[in-house]
Amino acid sequence: MKWVEIEITTTEEASDAICEMLSQLGADGIAVCDPLEIKRIIEDPDSLAYADDGFVDSLGSDVKIQAYFAEFEDGIRLGAKEEEYENPEGVGTIYGNIAKGSKSLAETISLLEERLAAIGEFLPVGNGKVSYKYVKDEDWENEWKKDYHAFTVSPRITIAPSWEKESVTETPDMKVVYLDPGSAFGTGTHETTSMCAELIDEHLDPKDTVLDVGCGSGILSIICSKLGAASVDACDIDRLAVDVAIANCEENHVDVDCYTGELKDAKKEGYSLIIANIVAEIIAGIAPLVPDKLLPGGRFITSGIIDHKKEIALSACQEAGLTLIEEKQKGDWHAYYFEKKA
């Protein structure tokens, strides 16, 4: 067996979607190097991060994603790690049918290029170059970790990988969410996730009953629980994401009810806070259901909305009877905080 590092050069906007696609194809590890995110961390006046002059500029502006695949004698084995994760109604339907079986390296590269083209229909993928190299068996496990370190995502929340537990300490004023990249959608580095985290940090009430729709890795659910929500439910249509969310919740010692489903499958009659960090079209689709699932005076936090599609989501939410209270924007992405009339 050999390990292949496949690198994709892309944009910030498309990086999370590409990581999710790579997970669906069975990548054993995924690393993201985002120069713009590194620059934001270094320039943050509250950050202790430091870089030599010229370091960030030397990285360029492209996001580089490395995915690690095992290559056997019969080729690279693609597909979910277990049959139960081959969910035809899950995220695989966004990027095309989930691949199965073994393919040669050339066939795998060709498949990745096809999937990138599909993602490019709704997100700018930029360069979209796909390259590869072989790495030593003992090197790959640490290689994908080198660009992921603890960072502050909101005034009271720090995100840290599990391998930095000993160096990152939680305090009453700064909660730490331990989350490893590459396992499911959402590690906090993307603008949409960070804006949701900021809105949660700003508006969460200890009495809140929360529903996280499209929970992905479970990061927003964990943040809600860490900040003291009364109860947190989390759902996703992808069973793999749900299992990853469950594992992440256990790792963080929080009580979150994670299950496979959509907004219509919500377990409670009503919630005081619903969160949905998905994409504009899906947000527009669920918007009419949101008020029915909110208690009187309930709130709705939503993101995953790229600039040229913001009116789709915004109009749908307002037409559903939700009142816009606050808007955030980072780069080309938007997040909204709505309230339902009491």
Last residue of a domain, which of 90, 117, 143? 143
Contact between 113 and 2 under an 8 Å Cβ cutoff? The reply is no
Q: Domain for residue 322, yes or no?
A: yes
For residues 113 and 212, membership in a common domain is answered with no
Q: Domain for residue 171, yes or no?
A: no
Instruction: Tell me the mean pLDDT in the region 305-311.
Output: 89
Q: Domain for residue 154, yes or no?
A: no
For residues 231 and 323, membership in a common domain is answered with yes
For residues 130 and 262, membership in a common domain is answered with no
Nearest to 65 by CA among 32, 105, 111: 32
φ and ψ at 320, to 5 degrees? -75, -5
Q: Domain for residue 152, yes or no?
A: no
Q: Domain for residue 258, yes or no?
A: yes
For residues 187 and 136, membership in a common domain is answered with no
Q: What is the pLDDT of residues 59-70, one digit of tens each?
A: 677 899 988 888
For residues 66 and 117, membership in a common domain is answered with yes
pLDDT class of 140 with cuts at 50, 70, 90: low
For residues 266 and 329, membership in a common domain is answered with yes
Q: What is the pLDDT of residues 143-193, one digit of tens each?
A: 656 667 888 889 999 998 888 888 888 899 999 999 876 544 566 677 888
pTM of the model: 0.67
Return the CATH number at 318: 3.40.50.150
Nearest to 126 by CA among 36, 215, 41: 36
pLDDT class of 85 with cuts at 50, 70, 90: very low
Number of domains in the chain: 2
Q: Domain for residue 241, yes or no?
A: yes
Q: Domain for residue 173, yes or no?
A: no
Contact between 90 and 237 under an 8 Å Cβ cutoff? The reply is yes
Last residue of a domain, which of 143, 169, 199? 143
For residues 137 and 68, membership in a common domain is answered with yes
φ and ψ at 138, to 5 degrees? -85, -10
For residues 216 and 89, membership in a common domain is answered with no
Range of the domain at 79: 2-143
Q: Domain for residue 163, yes or no?
A: no
